[in-house]
Every structure is written in C-alpha cells, then in structure tokens.
Structure 1
C-alpha cells in the first residue's frame, strides 16, 4: 500500500493543494488585511495608540505582536504530544481536519470584529493562528510518506508555490472589494475587510476537502484505539531520544530556530512596519505583500534548482546571507519605492527558505521510521518557538526604543547566529541513511 502511495501523483497533488487551501489565512489574516484593519480600528482610541484589553492598557501593535507569540506558544506546548498520539494511532488526517476547521471557523468569526469588541478579535485571531499552525504539523509529516527523498525539494516547492498562487488570487479579489466596496454591494472598505475574513475561512475549509478526500488515512496500518495519551507520550519520548543521537539533525534544528526567528517575524509584521514606520496606506501595503507572494513562487523553484545543483546547504547559506542584508536595509527604508524594492528581495528568499527548510528536514529523518508526525513535531515546535521569541522580542524592542526600525535591525543577529550553526551542518543530498 505504501509503495503505491509514494508513486501516486494524485496523492502528491492533493497534498500540495492543502497549501493552496490554508495559505490564504497566512496571507490575508496574518500578513495583510487583518493587521491593517486591526491597526485602523484601534488607532487613536487612546494616547500613544494604546488600547484596553481585559483591563490592561497596551500599545495596539505590541498587543498584536504578543497575541501571535501566545498562539504559537500554545502549539509549541501541545503539538509534540498530539504528534505522538497521531503516530501511535495512525490518525494524522483526523488531526489535520480538526485544526483546519478550528482555524477556518475562527476566520469566519473575525467577520464580527469591528474594533469595539477588541477581546473578540484578538481571541479569534489567536484561535485561527492555533488552527493554522496545528494543521501544518501533521500536513508536513505527510511529505516523507508520499514521495521519495530525491523529490522532496520539488514537491515541497510545489506546495508553497500553489499556496502563493491561491492566496494571491483571493487577495486580489479582497483588494478589489476594499477599493470598490459599492461594486460588491458592501457599505465601505471596513465592511469589505471583514467580509474578506469570512471568505478566507470558507476558502480554507472548502479547498481542504480535496486533500481530506485523497490523502491516505493510515498508510502504515496502525490501529490503536485505547490509551492514546500514554502511547502518545511514549511515542514522542522515543523520537526525542532518537533526535538527540543525530548531531546533523540537532545542528540543523538549531540553525533553523535562529533564522526562523527572523523569517517568521518579517512574515507576520511586515505590514505593521510599513503602516507605522512609513505611513503607507492600506492599498500600498497589500500591493507590497502581493509583490512578495508573486516573487516567492519563482523563488521557491529557483532555490530548489540551486539545491539540486549545488546541494541544500549552499542554497540555504545564500538565502540566510540575503536575509541579513534585508534586515540592514529595512533600517534605512523611508520611501514607498524602497519598501517595494525590499519586498521584492524578501519574496525571492521567502518562498525558497520555507520550502527548502521543510524538504531538508525530511531528508534528515531516518528512512526506516514510520514516526513522521513525531519527527516533524520537533521541526514545527522549533519553528513555533522561533515565532514566539521573534515576535515577542520585536514587540519588546519597539516598546523599549519606540521604533520598529530597531526591531527590524535586531533580526539580523538571529540570521547571523543561524548561519553559524548552518555552516556546521553536513546535509545529505537524498536522505540520512544514504549519507556517506
């Protein structure tokens, strides 16, 4: 059964379609329309853009940074145990469904956020983030089960490319709604933004039905129905000891942790930076993110080609060096055209580094294991903790110094540390067990 799944183009294409389904959340909710909308409905309510949240006063953009940190901290705490349960019981698909529906329904709930109910907006944005991040853990774990190691890079790139294409299509529609609300029979741009949250949730849940119907439910034929919590704990404990023994994997995860602190923080807070530091209007911010998404499609395949020719390590080193330059450049960006140029460079390495990181880790998983969700939980926990610390430190530096430019510049330090660990990694071309 497993060999037929690995050879199935239908399964591989269906797997990649989940990127198409869920990436609209990442683009519309976390990167563009929601942060811009959030800033617009919370700006100026109190001096220094402070807002009241459950009785506490805090700067609106700092609150948004902290909410992202909290959501990924939750996933970092629960995903290892859930991954162990999924591996022990063969229920990865069920877990993907649960988190996907949690995220998509939370996006729908954001339609009712109008600024007067701040707690509602923050809580459902956190739940949407948990749904997105939780589903990715189990989605990524399918990669080594549906293709061979020599095709990891290209299939991973295909997933990210489909995600970028689908999210761009929906974002263009949403942007037209915001620019011309009357044409869509909407009251104003604010209502159009809220309607975009509703559409995002429906898109995510709707297109998820493709992978949900095609992905194998239990490729290894596991059938554990009782003592899931205990078995899940034992499963993740076993994989933890295995991970500790692999020095290559440990060094790669250390590198991934530090450069992900920079990559993910840029993804989540780029629009906020453009709004607050440059005063760019919402349509220009969304255009900036569109540039990033479109260039990222080419970037995913370009760096997959570089990795095929020169190896994953060289490709990753090049991208991390470019990211260091981006952080330095962000400090000196003052005009919209400079911001667009920087966005072009971000897009070039954004898709490449995400795609290649996922496929590189897949190559480091022992080929004899069936515990892919548990292995990928360590990868995803590393990424989630990086997001927690990256967005949290970004918010703290802004709060202390009063400028997001200092926050952006500090991200360069994370990339340099990640580069140091990356230079110590010897990455095999096809898989851990084929390494000489």
Structure 2
C-alpha cells in the first residue's frame, strides 16, 4: 500500500518543481498511448480486420473458428469482446502486484512495451491473416489495459481531491493532441497511398505499425519522469493473489464504490463500443471511404481537446457528476442521430463526429477523477484494475450486443441503436448514486463540488 503522505496529493512548496515534472510525465503517457485508441482501435483495425476476414471467408461470408460458424462482419466485435474477457482475469491481478510491489514505473514500461511491440507486429497481418491480426490485437489490448491500470493509479498521488478533475482532464487533452498529430500523418498517408505506389491495405498496415512505434517511444519519456512510491511492510509481505482476494472481500464494505463501478460499466460499455465500432459502422453501413472516416476521427481528436478542457472547467463550477450526466444525454442523442444518418452523407457524419468530440473526452476524464475519490487509501492500482476492465475501447457487453444484433438482423443500424440501453441504464444508476456519502464512506475527503 502507498503511504499516506504520498497519496494525499503533494502540496508543499519545495515539492512544486518535482510535482510539475512528474505531472508532465503523467500527461505525456496519455500522449503516448492514445494513438492506440485512435489510429488502431477506432479508425484502421476494425475495417481492415473485417475486410481481411471477408476475403478469407467462404461464399456465405462465414468464418470457421473453433468449430463455430461466425459472420465475417462480426469478427472484429467478437475479438474486442474476447480481449476484455481475458482482461477480467489480468487487470485486477496487475493492480494487486502494483500496489504490493510499488514498482509502477517498471510495470508501466513492461506492459506498454509489449503492447507497442504487438501493435507494430500488425504490419505483418496482411494477405488474409485474420487470425494473426486477432491474436496480436488481443495481446496489444490486454497490455494496453494493464499499462493503463498502472498509469491511472498515479492520479491520487499527483493531485488532491479539489484538483483531480482538472488534472485528469488535462491528461485527456494531452492524449487527444498526440492522437490528432499522428492521425493527421496517417490520413495523409492513406490519401496519398496510390501516388506513393502503395495499396490502401499496405498504407493501413504502415499506420498500424507506426502507432505501435509511437506508443513505445514516448512511453520511455513518460517513465523517466514518474516516481515509485513506498509501500507498507504488510503489503510487501502479502502475496498478490492473497492481496487480491482480500480486496474482493473488502470491496463489499464499500457498496457505494461498487455502485459507481456498476454505473460506469454500463454507460462506458456504450461509449467504448461507439468509439471502437464507429469505423465499421461508417464503412459497412454508410458506405463512407477510409479517408472520410479518418478525417472525421481527426476532427474528433481536435474538438475533443477543447471538449475535455471545457467539461473539466464545467465540473469545477457544477460538479463532475452533473456534467457526466449531461454528457450521457448527449450520447443518447448521438445514437439516434447515427441511426438516421443517410448513406454516403459526409456532412451529416462530420456534424455527428463534432458532437462526439465535445462529449467524449469529458465523459471519460471526469469518470476517472470521480472514481479516484471512491478508492480506499493504498488500493489505487487494484481498484483501477476493476475500473479499466470496461475502459478505453475494451468493454465487452457493448461489442457483444452489437455483434449479436448484426448477426441476427443483418443490420448495422439496428446494431448501433441497440447500444442506447447501456447509456440509459448507466444514467439512471449514476443519477441515483449519493456521491458525497460514497466519498466519505471510502475514507476520503470530498471536494467542495461533486
């Protein structure tokens, strides 16, 4: 467990320079990792993996996998779901090891390097290698989740209760800047592919590989500025599995924290599924070209910079919970608008993408900071292990619902509208949660506005 002074949020004047340096390192990891969400999960891999799966499928567009007959159009959503099922086993244990050993810098470097290597390896997943692409993505996504658990757990060490909404939002903004810069390069590559003597598939594979290289390179800059915290002797003596089992038992003593996790799992399943499968929906249902899609995602990244910072400021005035609830209403509107989008309507698609950009970053940044208020002292990484299971484009209920709806109906429009239930249920659950009482019950001091 971390010591109390480290987790209370440093404020002494002599530590200001070190704190600013460490915060910048923390922000820069969002810059490093966000390209995996933007260029890989959101833009390129879904349509590319669907395309190579269809090329490998029979005349009925079905894949044979482990004795099952699967629709090639559902393959990417099933791969997403499988990666998260495996994360259910890996991420809480990752958090337990991080809290027990205190070696967060080393763990962040190791997981991020493995994920970056697997992402770079997607370059070789051409010529119908749909299974290789799936395996590499599962490894990359699990590594991404494990690294994010460790990364998130630094937030209580870097900011006190009143600062966390702002610090968390600034981290997301850094991520959107990094994601937008690399995505702009990728957009230029895809648009100019023919002039460069490349096929679209070859250009996409280069985009996937360079996203992995970016992630790995900037991770080492981040790690050089972050610091490990000391852990209590009792935490060092206990094994990781024993500590994890203890955490499972202790979590029952914090039902309001579990309540938030349940609400977050519901609405974030919807958020992450929209982010992860928007490319598939745009190409398969709306018949939009890859350059249109990439341009829209690039615009989302730019708009989201201001959205994350703007919603962070609104949280300081109205409270993070109210702002998140308002954002969920906007997400519900996004889904209904997506259902009625006309095929080939580029302007409509860009308008909808702008709305997504305004609410996307704030929803996630403020959810992260809200949860940090509900974690008992010294359990940050373990609790963020459970949190990350449904975070950052890796939820499984949403992709599963999307894939099954498409498989049963053959309609991507019905598949996208099926996600409304996650936002409605998450809104109701979060609205009913007494946040101030939940923060106090976790043994923390609540900020003035929640």
Q: Same fold (TM over 0.5)?
A: yes
> Compared with structure 1, are the counterparts of its residues 408 and 153 closer, same or farther at alpha carbon in structure 2 (3 Å cutoff)?
same
TM-score normalized by structure 1?
Answer: 0.92
Matched, 1:286 2:294: yes
C-alpha separation in 1, matches of 2:289 and 2:330: 27
TM-score normalized by structure 2?
Answer: 0.89
Post-superposition CA distance 1:330-350 (Å, at most 9, x none) = 211112222222111111111
Task: State the match for 1:339 in structure 2.
Answer: 349
Matches within 5 A, 1:20-419: 20-43=31-54, 45=56, 46-53=58-65, 56-181=68-193, 187-217=198-228, 219-221=229-231, 231-334=239-342, 335-366=345-376, 369-383=377-391, 387-419=395-427
C-alpha separation in 1, matches of 2:420 and 2:181: 32
> Compared with structure 1, are the counterparts of its residues 182 and 21 closer, same or farther at alpha carbon in structure 2 (3 Å cutoff)?
same
> In structure 1, the residue corresponding to 2:70 is in which secondary structure?
strand
Post-superposition CA distance 1:257-289 (Å, at most 9, x none) = 110110010011000000111111111111121
How far does residue 310 in structure 1 lie from its aligned partner after superposition? 0.8
More helix by share: 1
How far does residue 225 in structure 1 lie from its aligned partner after superposition? 11
C-alpha separation in 2, matches of 1:293 and 1:428: 32
Post-superposition CA distance 1:59-99 (Å, at most 9, x none) = 22311101011111111112112211221111222222221
C-alpha separation in 2, matches of 1:60 and 1:134: 29
> Compared with structure 1, are the counterparts of its residues 288 and 382 closer, same or farther at alpha carbon in structure 2 (3 Å cutoff)?
closer
> Compared with structure 1, are the counterparts of its residues 381 and 162 closer, same or farther at alpha carbon in structure 2 (3 Å cutoff)?
same
How far does residue 37 in structure 1 lie from its aligned partner after superposition? 2.4
**Contact 2:100 / 2:236 at 8 angstroms: preserved in 1?**
no
How many pairs were matched up?
Answer: 430
C-alpha separation in 2, matches of 1:328 and 1:95: 41
Give 5+ residue unaligned stretches, structure 1.
none
> Compared with structure 1, are the counterparts of its residues 273 and 22 closer, same or farther at alpha carbon in structure 2 (3 Å cutoff)?
same
> In structure 2, the residue corresponding to 1:58 is in which secondary structure?
strand
C-alpha separation in 1, matches of 2:124 and 2:90: 28
Give 5+ residue unaligned stretches, structure 2.
none
